[in-house]
Amino acid sequence: MAESRVKSSVRNVLAAWGGQAAYAICAFVVRAIFVDTLASEYVGLETLFTSLLTILSLADLGVGSAITFALYKPLAFDDRQQVKSLMRLFKRAYIVIGCVVIAAGACMTPFISALLGSSAPDIPNLKLYFFCFVLNTGISYFFSYKASLITADQKNYVVSLIQYGFQIAMCGAQIAVLLVTGNYLLYLCCMIASTLLQNIVISHTANRLYPYLREKDIDPLDKGVLSSIKKNIVGLLMHRVAEVATTPTSNLIITAFVGLATTSLYGNYQLVTNALQRVVVKLFDSIIASVGNLSAKESNERQYEVFRTTFFINALIYGVVTGALLCAINPFIWGIWLGRDWVLPDLTVILLSLLFYFQGMRCAGQAFTSAYGLYWVTKWKAVLEAVSLPVLMLILVRPLGMNGVLLSGIISTLCISTVYEGWAVYRRGFDAPLRNYVKMFALYSVLDVGAILLGFWICSFIALPGLIAFLVDAVIGMALPVAVLWLCFHRTREYAETRSIIKRVAARLRHRSQPEEAA
């Protein structure tokens, strides 16, 4: 069973990483053509609209995550009747949510210029463009609920392949539209068509994988299960509010107090950080179902061992990725992608990279929180974030500008999110003291951040042309965190188990390639 969980996680991770890498390359090409074809205000416009739509997505209420958690046990024990009951509830909830999002967005559309205030760009058809974003978000709910069943059954690679296939095709269509017509409306229509088609295909795939979903004899959902779902939804709603209080609010505050031009610059950096984050988060999303299965069948001691190994992998990956990000993002932007006019100052890039790192260091804790269904337990963390972060941003943005917004995110992440999530997993999941988690988090963070900043300092003395600067700086940024963590942990159980996992993955990849070589 443990081998099966590792195999499922590996397959999910490889599909997610491969798809995301291909899509990220396509997205960067699209953005480069976008910047060259349309006015710079359109870049800031997309960032603002995405932020506003994130606020509308509060209509989700956390229903998806709550029902996905409820699916782990019946899938583990092949309880098809309960799966069918949960999926019927899922379908009804998501149809209502999609309709609410579209209706609320339609009500906001006439007032979009007023909502943007003095930062509203002088672009024709602004309301129509905003409603395209609304429609894209709304229709994503009508079929996507079946993707959660596939994911909960440790087959997320199926969903990843479909989603990334359509997104890459969307990028190709958008490139053609920009080069041939330069029409932003047609560009958005490509996005809507991709969302609709990929969700229809996922729905049909789920019906093929689980033919019993077509059966009409569906039992009423057990009251105990329904009560647990409702409780988790309340906790998740608070988490959704906290999500809105972070990235969307930060973009709106930057636009209001610093300007749309800075939002446009920041939007390009977000495209890079979001692409990196999606690659890494897919790793942890891919293991959530396996952890859910683990929690249903294994002892507390084994679960704790798995968490410590997962946290070591978390620190290793985010140390490497953040090192490359800090050292190489500016050479990438000015030397390869967009040009020097789109570069942010070094201090801003350092703060952006540290925010990326500390938010990423929560991945292991969040994966176990989701797998254990601890949404209710961590609800007050979300409330504290939602209240304190916007206030802190408003205080620091006036004297520090955009740097104040980023610094606010770092403070909130370390002082609220990290501590609260660690407490939830350790006290409620492992019955262990919080101080053990804090010590582990602090140790890894000090080592990683020290190595990352050392790499950035070394790179500041290296003057090379664009592509060469990007490659050399990226290698330096990645190598130092690996070296530091190896020196400190190469004799630990976490390192040994991580190396064992890597060997199993490599062996499986070699085994898969053998038939092709023989052929």
pLDDT at 165 over 70: yes
Mean pLDDT of 123-152: 85
- Tell the burial category of 91 from Cβ atoms under 10 Å away from its Cβ (0-12, 13-18, 19+): middle
| pLDDT bracket for residue 183 (50, 70, 90) | very high
In the 3-class helix/strand/coil scheme, how is 471-496 assigned residue by residue? HHHHHHHHHHHHHHHHHHHCCCHHHH
**CB-based contacts of 328, cutoff 8 Å, min separation 6:** 469, 470, 471, 473, 474, 477
With residue 306 as reference, give the H or E element that holds it. Answer: helix 300-332
Distance CA 505, CA 20 (A): 19
Compute the distance between CA of residue 47 and CA of residue 31 in angstroms, rounded to an integer. 12
> Which distant-in-sequence residues (6+ apart) come within 8 Å of 496 by Cβ?
none
Q: Cα separation of 138 and 56, whole Å?
A: 9
The answer to whether residue 92 scores a pLDDT higher than 80 is yes
156 has pLDDT over 70: yes
Whole-angstrom Cα Rg for the chain = 23
Length of the chain: 519
Tell me the mean pLDDT in the region 445-468.
Answer: 92
Q: In this predicted model, what pLDDT tens digit does every residue of 20-63 receive, in sequence order?
A: 788 888 988 998 899 888 877 787 777 778 777 776 666 555 67
CA distance 451 to 322: 10
Residue 513 has pLDDT above 70, yes or no: no
Residue 293 one-letter amino acid: N
**Mean pLDDT throughout 234-248?**
65
Q: Is the pLDDT of residue 517 over 50?
A: no
Q: What is the pTM of this model?
A: 0.74
89: confidence class by pLDDT, cuts 50, 70, 90: confident
- Beta-carbon contacts of 355 under 8 Å, excluding residues fewer than 6 positions away, are 406, 409, 410, 413
80 Cβ partners below 8 Å, 6+ apart? 74, 212
Mean pLDDT score, 134-147: 84
Q: What is residue 392's predicted lDDT score, i.e. its pLDDT?
A: 93
Strands (E), 364-489: none
Query: CA separation (Å) from 329 to 311, 455, 471?
Result: 26, 13, 10
Higher per-residue confidence, 177 vs 38: 177
In three state form, how does the secondary structure of 316-363 look? HHHHHHHHHHHHHHHHHHHHHHCCHHHCCCHHHHHHHHHHHHHHHCCH
User: What is the pLDDT, as a whole number, of residue 519?
Assistant: 44
- CA 148/CA 415 separation, integer angstroms: 32
What pLDDT sits at residue 516? Answer: 46
The two three-digit tokens of residue 158, written as one number: 């199926």
| CA–CA distance, 470 with 455 (Å, rounded to integer) | 13
User: Beta-carbon neighbour count of residue 317 at 10 Å?
Assistant: 18
Residues 283/286/292/297 CA torsion (nearest 10 deg)? -90
Contact present, 453 and 327 (Cβ < 8 Å): no
Q: How far apart are CA 104 and CA 261, in angstroms?
A: 28
Q: Which of 186, 220, 212, 157 is nearest to 19 (CA)?
A: 157
Other CB atoms within a 10 A radius of the CB of residue 503 amount to: 10
Q: What is the pLDDT of residue 1?
A: 46
pLDDT tier, 126 (very low <50, low <70, confident <90, very high otherwise): confident
At residue 123, the 3 state secondary structure works out as: coil
- Angle, helices 300-332 vs 434-459, to 10°: value is 20
For the record, the structure tokens of 40 come out as 């710079």
**Residue 514 is encoded by which pair of tokens?**
């053998």
Summarize pLDDT for 393-452 with one digit per residue, the tens: 999 999 999 999 999 999 999 999 899 888 988 887 788 888 999 999 999 999 999 999
Alpha carbons 333 and 268: distance in angstroms, whole number: 9
Q: What is the mean pLDDT of residues 306-312?
A: 88
